Structure 1
Amino acid sequence: MAMIDRALASNATPETLERLLALQERWEASQARKAFDEAMAAAKAEIPVIAKNRTVDFTSAKGRTHYRHEDLAEIARTVNPILSKHGLSYRFRTSSVANEPVSVTCIVSHRLGYFEENTLTGPRDDSGNKNSLQQVGSTLTYLQRMTLKAALGLAAAEDDDGRRGGTDDAGNISEEQAATIRALIEETGTDIQHFCELMKVESVPELAASQYDRVIKSLEAKKRRVA
């Protein structure tokens, strides 16, 4: 700004002023990015592991689905005060065109103006007896939760308030990994109940993270055989 003031005082040419203004804008953008990175690092250092406060348990033609997860309200309750403290905020942009997948973009912004976006797209949730609007709403909520977690790098674990210093045995696969396994189970015509019995779990999300690679390799081999 001092250079611009001196240029104005010395009747600099419009071209010179334009170059100085462009330099100023680049400097401000760089400072905003730096402030964003510093704020995100500070916030992530304070955000605790999110407690899984919801249980999904239903039986369909594909078998029983049973797992725990953290809902959007629990995530917001945990992260909002910390993000606000460091000048950060988030919002969602959604897209739901008829007969097309639902898309959600999470936008995390800093008070100096810099922001970053994270987008996920998914099909309408036709599980249970949802009508068309409920299918869209369920997918929107899920994608909002997942884009926010991805944007902030959040971790989730079982609520261990009653463990009193016990070891954390929450070594299960992630929801994304569970979705990948379910897709392969469906593609290969595998009976999900028989699969869970063989793996000694009640549902796919209860698989141990250490089992994931072996399960994927087995299902992909079966997929090649039935192709």
Structure 2
Amino acid sequence: MSTEIIEAPQTAVSAPAPAGSPMAMAIAALQSGMSPEQISAMMDLQDRYNATQAKKAYDEAFAAFKAESVRIIKGRDVKDGPLKGKSYAELHDVVNAVTPALSKHGLSSSWKLTKDEKDWMEVTCYLRHVGGHEESVSMGGPPDAGGAKNAIQARASTKTYLERYTLKAITGLSEQNDDTDGRPAFDQDIVDDWVAAAESAATLEELDQTWKDGLKELGKTDSLQVYERFKAAVSTAKKRLETNK
């Protein structure tokens, strides 16, 4: 006579939610008799608290990063032409300067091509902290068709330019003589003329064309200050025209 042992099937047991997790908090709230509406309000409050703490941690990390006194080295020397002997910082110079200090304080940067049209490109630079908070800066411009570039080179040139300046903008860093950055000085009257053209635009269509044409011309300055001034003038004019429609 044989004896057969039959094992009873085991019922899978779910692991309990980690203490302090949203699920654990919701379960505890339900067990205490709170209504779903009260639980939802409590979770919203917790989310706002977490966001505030993440922003606080980001601000502290960013302040510590700024205290590092990061110096951007101009690694590109001009070999010929009227600027022979001068130097300027390329994208990798900026990245190499900021990345170690950012990482030291739990910060990291990245880019995304947020607009990729035939005549317009926009790059957004993100600065994130390990605590969860992130901030971003966006900048756009037309493909750089100067210097006999082909279509791919023109787009790559603009993308690199936008990456360089958005990273410098979001980290609040600059290099010496940043207004020219290895390029010849630009006539301030030309900048004033484009700002005036934006301010006097009579229609949104005219303003849009002024924005596109102005960027092609003012992009030659390779100056973030010039770009921001022109952008501010266009933004103000756009609000005026939209209000008066």
1:93-104 paired onto structure 2 within 5 Å: 93-94=112-113, 95-98=115-118, 100-104=119-123
**Deviation of the 1:54 alpha carbon:** 1.2
Where does 1:15-30 land on structure 2 (aligned, <5 Å)?
15-30=37-52
Q: Determine the C-alpha separation between the residues in 2 that align with 1:108 and 1:85.
A: 14
Structure with max Cα Rg:
2
Structure 2 residues without counterparts, runs of 5 or longer: 1-19, 195-219, 227-245
Q: Which runs of 4+ in 1 moved over 2 A?
A: 1-9, 55-59, 64-68, 175-183
Instruction: Note the 1:157-176 alignment, pairs <5 A.
Output: 157=176, 172=177, 174-175=179-180
CA separation of 1:183 and 1:138: change in aligned 2, threshold 3 A: farther
Distance 1:15 1:180, change over 3 A: farther
Give the aligned partner of residue 184 of structure 1: 190
Q: Which runs of 5+ in 1 are unaligned?
A: 158-171, 189-203, 206-211, 213-227
1:151 to 170, 174, 198: 170
- 8 Å Cα contact 1:102/1:124 also seen in 2: yes
Q: 1:179 to 1:141 in 2, by over 3 A?
A: farther
Paired-residue identity, %: 37
Higher RCO, 1 vs 2 (CA within 8 Å, ≥6 residues apart) = 1
- CA distance in 2 between counterparts of 1:179 and 1:5 reads 66
Asked if residue 108 in structure 1 is aligned to residue 127 in structure 2, the reply is: yes
SS at match of 1:51: coil
- Corresponding position of 1:197: none
Q: Specify which of 57, 61, 64 is matched with residue 42 of structure 1.
A: 64
1:55 to 2:73 alignment: no
1:106-145 to structure 2, matched below 5 A, reads: 106-145=125-164
Task: Give the structure-2-normalised TM-score.
Answer: 0.60
TM-score norm. by structure 1 comes to: 0.65
> Kindly tell me: are residues 179 and 108 of structure 1, through their superposed partners in 2, closer, same or farther at Cα, counting changes over 3 Å?
farther
Q: Secondary structure at the match of 1:126?
A: coil
Contact 1:119/1:147 (<8 A) preserved: yes
**Aligned partners of 1:37, 1:178: CA distance in 2, in Å?**
37
Q: The residue matched to 1:145 in structure 2 has which SS?
A: helix
Contact map agreement 2:139 2:166 (CA 8 A) in 1:
yes
Cα distance, 1:123–1:92 mapped onto 2, change above 3 Å: same
CA contact (8 A) 1:104 1:140 kept: yes
Distance 1:112 1:106 in 2: 18
CA displacement, residues 96-148 of structure 1 (integer Å, 9 cap, x when unaligned): 211x2221110111112111110111121122121110011011111100000
More strand by share: 1
**What is the CA distance between 1:30 and its match in structure 2?**
0.4
Asked if 1:14 corresponds to 2:20, the answer is no
Q: 1:182 to 1:141 in 2, by over 3 A?
A: farther
Tell me the number of residue pairs that the alignment of Structure 1 and Structure 2 aligns.
171
Q: Identify the residue that residue 16 of structure 2 maps to in structure 1.
A: none
- Structure 1 pair 110–154 and aligned structure 2 pair: CA distance change class (3 A): same
Amino acid at match of 1:97: E
Do the aligned partners of 2:73 and 2:97 also contact (CA within 8 Å) in 1? Answer: no
> Hey, what's the Cα distance between the residues in 2 that align with 1:70 and 1:148?
13
Equivalent residue letter for 2:127:
V
**2:96 is equivalent to residue 77 of structure 1:** yes
Cα distance, 1:133–1:19 mapped onto 2, change above 3 Å: same
Q: Deviations over 1:57-107 (max 9, x none)?
A: 676xxxx56653211111111211111111111111113211x22211101
